[in-house]
Amino acid sequence: MLGVIIRNNKTILLRPSFSSAFRQFSSSAKQMTVRDALNSALDEEMSADPKVFLMGEEVGEYQGAYKISKGLLEKYGPDRVLDTPITEAGFTGIGVGAAYYGLKPVVEFMTFNFSMQAIDHIINSAAKSNYMSAGQISVPIVFRGPNGAAAGVGAQHSHCYASWYGSCPGLKVLAPYSSEDARGLLKAAIRDPDPVVFLENELLYGESFPVSAEVLDSSFCLPIGKAKIEREGKDVTITAFSKMVGFALKAAEILAKEGISAEVINLRSIRPLDRSTINASVRKTNRLVTVEEGFPQHGVGAEICTSVIEESFGYLDAPVERIAGADVPMPYAANLERLAVPQVEDIVRAAKRACHRSVPMAAAA
């Protein structure tokens, strides 16, 4: 079935709806973009549960700022795909109120930087209500959108909020990397009875990943709070989430050529954090490198380091290495922007230091 929109009295045919694309993927089971993975997860969950609805800026008539909601307005109508004004505090509050009454809103932020306008509703209303009501009020809501650095969008559109929301009891915080992550975790988030912050990455939307028939099945769902070992290794553990998983995997390939076997852990879930998988890996490799785009102070990597120090200190053969974004607001200039976010070579150098295969950072400075 072709989607149709009317613009300036002209009829424009869109690509086939996802049900058609889904059948194509099912027959070939080859590659799927993160964008299509998110779109399919939303489509299937809205089809399965009439309580699920989507709201946010440009999610309907414009098909989504990043085309994540493409085809959904036509399929489900304006009662379940709601275009909102540019007022995050307003529509987030409406979403939380709807969740109080048993609906399952999916609230899209055009960027998580704009969630700051709505943080009172996310933290004080959504995250705390279940505890403050002694379990009488569930808040089944998903807050989703791109998080962290994109390209050339400046400090006010480049902030990573993983550690912000990850520090708040009552929230679950997910950060997908691959199409499998995006599809399985978004389904899990929508089905969950608690508020979930779902941190996507704009630069990953167009990336394609291999998907199996299992991932394409409508019943597919990933567990919240469970990390994935993307690459097994024995010399050093590298933890990462979102876009940085890809960087960690590239670093592991370079390290392998130099005789260093790196184990790469895709965190998937920031809160709850899969401490058992991380510590089991460190007890095997005896070294740890954490990678994240966010600021270093009070970051996700700092929490992972603390967990390892508390539970596996006796297994460490080298100091823990933390790779994070620069401790400055994101520069606009492209050359400075690159210096402000972690690069593959930063991960490689940190892993070599942990394996005592390079000059220590202090000596190299």
Catalytic residues, which ones?
A: 88, 157
Residue 312 three-state SS? helix
CA-closest candidate to residue 211, choices 327, 38, 350: 38
Cα(68)–Cα(183) distance, integer angstroms: 12
Cα(314)–Cα(363) distance, integer angstroms: 26
Gyration radius (Cα) of the chain, Å: 21
Name the phi and psi angles at 134, rounded to 5. Answer: 55, 40
In this structure, what token pair is assigned to residue 290?
């954490």
In this structure, what token pair is assigned to residue 15?
């690509």
User: Which regions of the chain does DSSP assign to beta strands (E)?
Assistant: 2-7, 10-16, 31-33, 52-56, 81-83, 104-108, 142-146, 172-174, 196-200, 208-210, 228-231, 236-240, 262-266, 269-271, 288-291, 321-323
DSSP string, 322-342: EE---SSPPPSSHHHHHHHS-
